[in-house]
Amino acid sequence: MREFIYPEMMVHVPVCTSKVPEQVLIISDNAELLSNEMYKHSEIVSSVTGANLDAIRNADDNSADVIICEMSADGTAVAHINRVLKDDGQLCITHDALDNIESNKSLMQALGRYFKIIMPFNLGNGSTALLASKEYHPTADLILQRSDMIDGLSYYNCDIHIAAFAMPNYIRKEYLGIIRN
């Protein structure tokens, strides 16, 4: 699988949904590819922290417009992520395969305490991530100009962005009432 697909989707899906992101926090122990994608948004300041709860606990309140997270999250981690995000912030987070229903339902329910919108999306490499948003809908509020004006992309564009949120009926039925769109 092409290694550029995952970081392009993890970064550009939330960044191109947020109205005017200024601060992005990347929570990862291996953030080089994600950071390289963030450089394509020169107007946005990004920072990286380790993928552990202590790193999130030390982050300032209301300091991030977008958080890109590669850490397994439970209710405590989600509460800290919520505290760090601004009132209209978004979280893009990796999770277990959608076939691991109980684990995902637990994570989505924890996210549901803080986010209006919780939607899985295809990363283009056979896995999915979750986009949790306090305000903006990832397909209705997509910033088309931003998504199609990014130089140096190999995979992501506005059509891929919208298509990534298409899910088969068995997923929709399994997560009925949990996924919020």
Mean of per-residue pLDDT scores for the chain: 94
Query: What is the mean predicted confidence (pLDDT) over 34-48?
Result: 94
Question: Is the pLDDT at 174 greater than 70, yes or no?
Answer: yes
Amino acid 153: pLDDT: 96
Query: 5-174 falls under which CATH superfamily?
Result: Vaccinia Virus protein VP39 (3.40.50.150)
Instruction: Give the C-alpha distances (Å, rounded to integers) separating 106 from 4, 33, 54.
Output: 30, 29, 22
Question: Is the pLDDT at 1 greater than 80, yes or no?
Answer: no
Amino acid 173: pLDDT: 93
Neighbours of 135 (CB within 10 A): 16
* CA atoms in the 13 A half-sphere facing the CB of 120: 26
Residue from 99, 96, 121 nearest 107 by CA = 96
pTM: 0.96
Amino acid 48: pLDDT: 95
Domain ranges of the chain: 5-174
Q: What share of the chain is helix, strand, coil (3-state, %, to 5)?
A: 35, 20, 45
Q: What would the 3-class secondary structure string for 77-130 be? A: HHHHHHHHEEEEEEEEEECCCCCCHHHHHHHHHHHHCCCCEEEEEECCCCCEEE
